[in-house]
Structure 1
Amino acid sequence: MQPAKSPVVKRGLWCLIAAAVLLAVCSKSSPLYPLNDWMDANIFYTMGKAMMNGSVLYRDVFDHKGPLLYLIYGVGWCVDHTGFLGVFVLEVAAFAAFLYWSLRTAEVFTGPLHPAWVLPVGAAAAAGQAFAHGGSAEEFCLPLLAWALYEVLAFAAKPQPDRCPLSLVRVGVLGFGAGCVLWVKFTMMGFFLGWVLVLAVLYLRAGWLRQLGLSCAAYLGGMALSTLPWLVYFGWNHALGDFFGVYFGDNLFLYSGGGQETAGVAAALFAIVQKVYWGCHDTPLFAVLAALGLGWLVLRRRYDAAASAAVLALGLAATSFAKGAYHVYYFLPFAVFAAPGIVPIVRTAGKVRLPGKGLRKTLPAAGGAAALAFCLLTCHNVGQMLRPAEALPQYQFAAIIQADGGSLLNYGTLDGGFYTVTGVQPPCRFFCVTNLPMPEQQAQQDALMQSGAVDYAVSLDPALDKRFDYSLTAQAEYDGGEGTIVWYLYRKNS
């Protein structure tokens, strides 16, 4: 006789299946799409591929996200050398963990729930505009944010006499998770600064001075442990200057993402409020769930829990939105605050009496079908699903380039996915031109073209053959859901 699956295993499997189904529809990394054509995702993929083939991040290949994100994509490249299947598997794992911790957060206030109750959060996050194309840095941080939120709400929801300090091991592991987010994209660290502030206030109120000191040490120790591998990696390769110069220096002093810089506290506060409003407007469903959950906590006088969630959200907003431009995927981390919104829905549904056990048993399946239908009807990526690969310029050009094994440069723009599909390694540090205002990016690419150092170049520029000794070989129109563009393929003249 087979032993019964534990609730943790059962819920974990349920969340994994739900994540796989939702992301199969909503992420362009899914096998249902010919290619994740998002330029950002292809930059991450090329950086990860180069890393796995011996190039040193930032020194030999250039982009300005965190090194852990490139490692994630590098692992995905190990599974699929010319596509996003490996990345999709990692997306599913991360999203399943996000669903699991969102469910646990709701259960803090409801008791055990069927995993189907987390589907509104999953569908809202996956189908919303903030999910973008799939594979964003924010998406891979969702499980760590959701876990940290669960821990602080589970602690704050207890009556003060029933609380006891979190174990130092748990705090240390949470610090390690915060460090992982730091090395993916540091603009989300306001969430964890808020987390530390909340725990500090609650510990001080309880008079746990010694435990607070030990917990701070454990938390910082966990962050240090997550940092150590990168210090070793860059130190071994004599690239610590490149690491800190690009990831912190360039991001803090050069990057604006095309937005206007803010000056002064008042301007920063206005930018935060404005961008939070935009995020709620662009992705209303999990914004509504978050507001519903926070309202329920306040009405039920769960003030410590409500204030804790609010502080974490404010911290996240401060470091995400005070500086630079707004991109809709910046709002995706706020999906973790949708989990408490399940609670009033569950409480209301519990008052409804359903006739017959058969009907009640079919509700989880019905919920899953409704979530899938919601994604199919509302996800902005669905229009690109099941397109034939040969309809994409990336595959059309790859057939030409791979015929003679030529080298390739993605000229003058972000990574269009041609390195991905062809499997070609990037030919130089600035293998594409990012949105950082660095003239040396274009200068290096011009020098490569001028010297004829690459066999092929792909570009959005229709007149490269007038400037360099290259001939136009092919061109193809493409609309990835954001308007029609034309890609041009140039070949070096013999």
Structure 2
Amino acid sequence: MAVSPLINRLNNDGQVYYLMGLGIKKGSIPYLDLFDNKGIYLYFINTIASLISEKLSVGLFLVEAAFIMADIYVVLQIARYYMDSIYSRLVCAMLFMCLALNYFTFDGGGNLVEEYALFPQLISIFLIICFIKGNYNNRHMFFQGILCSFSFFIKPSLIMFWGGVLVIVILLLKKRFYKQSCISIGSGIIGLMVGALPAYIYGRFTGCWDAMIEAIVMFNYRYSSAEGESLIKKIFSVILNWRMGGLFILTIASFIIVYKSKNIEMLLIYVTSLVLEVISISLSGYSFGHYYEGMIVFTLPSLVWISKKIYIKKSIVIAIAVAGILCNGKLLIKILDDYGIIRTISYDDMNFMAKCANLKQQNYNDSSVLVVTGTGNCQGAKYYTAMNVMPDNKYFYTLKIPYEELPDSVDAIANATYSGKYDVLVMYYIYKDKSKMWGVDKYDSGLREFLNENYELCIENEVLPLEMWVKKK
């Protein structure tokens, strides 16, 4: 976990979500006062973390730890259907967490959408297994509806995973269980409404409902289509990406295991959810590592098979060793960073951020700071967090959409920069030579002249295109 006390280096996207949650705590209304394109439940999770403690390594760490412990518990319950030995179940849970916390594949994790989505996905799988094993009741579909809504209001494309659940209804109809099918459909719809109710009430109460739907549905559609690639090309890009390597092998093995079980119902549900999950990742538009975390649940058949085959007395030691190597990847990099053995971009970024925070703390108030980021750069959030400042602009980072399609974020940040009302400007350029900030000529052309005339260069990063300017007295 990126915000554990030992590491405390949070992913850039994770910083955005935390700032949104912190904003809710401090009275800001998401989508109206602060903009981001994820669901309100993700921000509620971060609000809870900030209520526990605004120190990331305390509040957010405890929330992430709670989700991970819940994931482990559900995996253990799933494993109970297939393994009698508690040791084998523990090995299965450990192997699952090795994948879930793998820094090298999933960009270090830390307060990311897919991390929280694992929990509802795992519960859904547990309920599906209950159906396969003959322990199904109509309440299960009600809970599936709640889980689907919860995931929608984290990130809408996640609901495609629940396409496999619809297969259950089709199977009930095929068996001519018409009454039970109708009750299941009704229960699922009620569950969807119950799951969406907190988001709807909050949205109507604060007046952000329409803006919320616009942000999480329409904006995400624009974002996913920003590169102009066809869906088929995106799907192949997802499948052939190097990050799919181990997951691809484990998923193929899992498919073979499910196929050989000769359980047609399980196979139909598994294949349907798998195909839709790949499409869901493809719709995200970019091949970022953490998008692939949604594929982990499809490796469970392989993990169960491995856990049953490993020699029990050695298995726990092996699993812990593997977990230590994979899960502590970020910790290892931090240690090497701190002792100067290696020097990563993260190190230079953190060092610059600490200098900015110290200078701001000593000389300036919160309302005098503006973080200026280049197009498609969401790293402004971590600078606001480090300096303990809530942004006073709706757009606190620039969106990764061509300026011609959606100029709002660039216009807002550029106009705030040229307003001259801020005493401190933290500049994060899009090019290393600092020749451009936004890639828009009308704003880029006079930027350096404006800065030299009205501000003094205070801190400059030698590695990254970062500067801190303070207003001339």
TM-score of the aligned structures, taking structure 2 as reference length: 0.85
Of 331, 335, 350 in structure 1, the residue corresponding to residue 296 of structure 2 is 335
1:491 pairs with 2:470: yes
1:152 pairs with 2:128: yes
**Partner residue, 1:368:** 320
1:170 pairs with 2:135: no
The 1:381–1:187 alpha-carbon spacing in structure 2 relative to 1, beyond 3 Å, is farther
Contact 2:142 2:188 in 1 (8 A): yes
**Partner residue, 2:59:** 86
Of 387, 399, 412 in structure 1, the residue corresponding to residue 358 of structure 2 is 399
Runs of 5+ consecutive residues of structure 2 not aligned to the other structure: 339-346, 436-446
1:205 pairs with 2:205: no
The 1:369–1:126 alpha-carbon spacing in structure 2 relative to 1, beyond 3 Å, is same
The 1:363–1:327 alpha-carbon spacing in structure 2 relative to 1, beyond 3 Å, is closer
Counterpart-to-counterpart distance in 1, 2:387 and 2:127: 44
**Partner residue, 1:420:** 385
**Partner residue, 1:131:** 106
Q: List aligned pairs for 1:403-482, cutoff 5 A.
A: 403-406=362-365, 407-412=368-373, 413-416=377-380, 417-437=382-402, 438-461=406-429, 462=434, 464-468=447-451, 469-477=454-462
Please list the CA deviations of residues 153-196 of structure 1 after superposition, one character each: whole Å capped at 9, or x if unmatched: 3322x3xxxx36x333332122111111000011111101222x
Counterpart-to-counterpart distance in 2, 1:214 and 1:470: 67
Counterpart-to-counterpart distance in 2, 1:319 and 1:425: 33
Counterpart-to-counterpart distance in 2, 1:294 and 1:101: 21
Runs of 5+ consecutive residues of structure 1 not aligned to the other structure: 1-26, 263-267, 355-359, 478-483
Counterpart-to-counterpart distance in 2, 1:343 and 1:323: 30
The 1:129–1:276 alpha-carbon spacing in structure 2 relative to 1, beyond 3 Å, is farther
**Partner residue, 1:277:** 240
Q: List aligned pairs for 1:50-65, cutoff 5 A.
A: 50-65=23-38
1:348 pairs with 2:322: no
**Partner residue, 1:16:** none
* One-letter amino acid of the counterpart of residue 488, structure 1: E
Please list the CA deviations of residues 309-334 of structure 1 after superposition, one character each: whole Å capped at 9, or x if unmatched: 12111121223315633222211111
Structure 1 position 385, deviation (Å): 4.3
**Percentage identity across paired residues of the two chains:** 20
Contact 2:113 2:155 in 1 (8 A): yes
After the TM superposition, which segments of 4 or more aligned residues of structure 1 sit over 6 Å from their partners? none
Q: List aligned pairs for 1:98-113, cutoff 5 A.
A: 98-113=71-86
* One-letter amino acid of the counterpart of residue 330, structure 1: Y
Q: List aligned pairs for 1:283-294, cutoff 5 A.
A: 283-294=244-255
Count of aligned positions: 435
**Partner residue, 2:439:** none
* One-letter amino acid of the counterpart of residue 372, structure 1: G
Contact 2:238 2:281 in 1 (8 A): no
Structure 1 position 474, deviation (Å): 0.7
Structure 1 position 284, deviation (Å): 3.0
* One-letter amino acid of the counterpart of residue 473, structure 1: C
The 1:97–1:284 alpha-carbon spacing in structure 2 relative to 1, beyond 3 Å, is farther
Three-state SS of the structure 1 residue aligned to 2:229 is coil
Structure 1 position 82, deviation (Å): 4.7
Contact 1:33 1:387 in 2 (8 A): no
Contact 2:460 2:466 in 1 (8 A): yes
**Partner residue, 1:383:** 333
Three-state SS of the structure 2 residue aligned to 1:473 is strand
Contact 1:118 1:339 in 2 (8 A): no
* One-letter amino acid of the counterpart of residue 383, structure 1: I
Counterpart-to-counterpart distance in 2, 1:152 and 1:112: 22
* One-letter amino acid of the counterpart of residue 107, structure 2: A
The 1:414–1:121 alpha-carbon spacing in structure 2 relative to 1, beyond 3 Å, is same
Contact 2:369 2:425 in 1 (8 A): yes
Contact 1:410 1:431 in 2 (8 A): yes
1:189 pairs with 2:159: yes
Contact 2:127 2:140 in 1 (8 A): no
Structure 1 position 105, deviation (Å): 2.7
The 1:130–1:185 alpha-carbon spacing in structure 2 relative to 1, beyond 3 Å, is farther
TM-score of the aligned structures, taking structure 1 as reference length: 0.81
**Partner residue, 1:219:** 188
Counterpart-to-counterpart distance in 2, 1:242 and 1:84: 32
Counterpart-to-counterpart distance in 2, 1:373 and 1:414: 30
* One-letter amino acid of the counterpart of residue 171, structure 2: L
